[in-house]
Amino acid sequence: MKTINNLHDYSSDTPLALSIGMFDGVHRGHQTIIGNLNEIAHDKGLESAILTFWPHPRTVFNPCDDLKLLNTIEEKTYLLNKNGVQHLFLKEFDEVFRNLSGEEFIRQVLVDKLNVKHLIIGHDHTFGKNRSGDFNLLQKMSSEYGFEVEQVQAVDYHTQPISSTQIRNALVEGNVKAANEMLGYVYSVSGEVIGGKKIGRTIGYPTANIAVNPMKLLPKKGAYVVEVFIDGLQYKGMLSIGTNPTVGGSSLSVEVYILNFNDDIYGKQISVNFRDFLHDEIKFESLEKLIERLDEDKRLTENFKF
């Protein structure tokens, strides 16, 4: 997959089959769009492409909105490539771009710059200043500018359309199983293993502290069954998101106890897949009560079937 970070530098006569959107999560609804996109591109001799934006438009329109995303740019790029997209356009959502009308966006970006011949959009997609662009406008202008357009219906989960927002809400509630079903893959976080307070090792549960990208959405505070990936190898783990209130902690941390593992991994990049929710964050009355709960969490993690 070719990644283009600056539309001003892009010039090609290659006609494209394109879809537009944030594609945060690259969830099952997005995967349906991409599948259709790739099929159309193959059948019509086009190349498939995605136009997405950074930062998220919500953070531009509402700077105080502390929006966390399902994917980092690197994760989104990996997932789009995995799903067979041939071109990825990463467009900065700047002041000039946000002020383009729907018609200007179609003319200047889709037609003049990207040479789009087939456009696929999601069921609720709008674009342009004041959301002036929609499926009806695209249909109206498609014959004039020589491209085809289609709108893909939503993919439902329990009668509700799958959306990035719905998945974020599930994760905030700790419902990682529902999030994984809507995503079509297992939600994960990655980061470098950094130093911590090393309290875990004093009670028989040494943990790896993970420095997670601050833009990445973390599930709700609590304990989880996870898969841990280190140097291409897979382990079972129990992960805690929280402030460690039992020992007087105050800052949020992401810590994972890796079963049957005792190597030094400081400075390494690791990733964890969220498989099940164990319990909310608890402030225990003593370290002994904390250890009892950790022992039970370990038993549940050992017995969990991946």
Q: Which tens digits make up the pLDDT trace of 282-294? A: 999 999 999 999 9
User: Hey, what domains does the chain have and what are their CATH numbers?
Assistant: 2-161 (3.40.50.620), 186-303 (2.40.30.30)
CB of 69 closer than 8 Å to CB of 56: yes
| Predicted pLDDT at 66 | 84
Q: Which amino acid is at 90?
A: L
**Model confidence at 246, in pLDDT bands (50, 70, 90)?**
confident
How far apart are alpha carbons 20 and 52 in whole angstroms?
6
How far apart are alpha carbons 174 and 223 in whole angstroms?
9
223 or 197, higher pLDDT: 223
Q: Is 244's pLDDT higher than 90? A: no
Q: Is 20's pLDDT higher than 90? A: yes
**Model confidence at 63, in pLDDT bands (50, 70, 90)?**
confident
- Given the structure tokens 């690791």, which residue do they identify? 270
Span of 6-10, 60-64, 225-229, 273-277 with lowest mean pLDDT: 60-64
As a whole number, the mean pLDDT across the chain is 93
pTM above 0.85, yes or no: yes
Indicate the pairing of strand 269-280 with strand 222-230.
antiparallel
The 10s digit of each residue's pLDDT in 75-87 is 999 999 999 999 9
The 10s digit of each residue's pLDDT in 125-170 is 888 888 888 999 999 999 999 999 999 999 999 999 999 999 999 9
| Predicted pLDDT at 124 | 84
Q: Is 196's pLDDT higher than 90? A: no
| Predicted pLDDT at 139 | 94
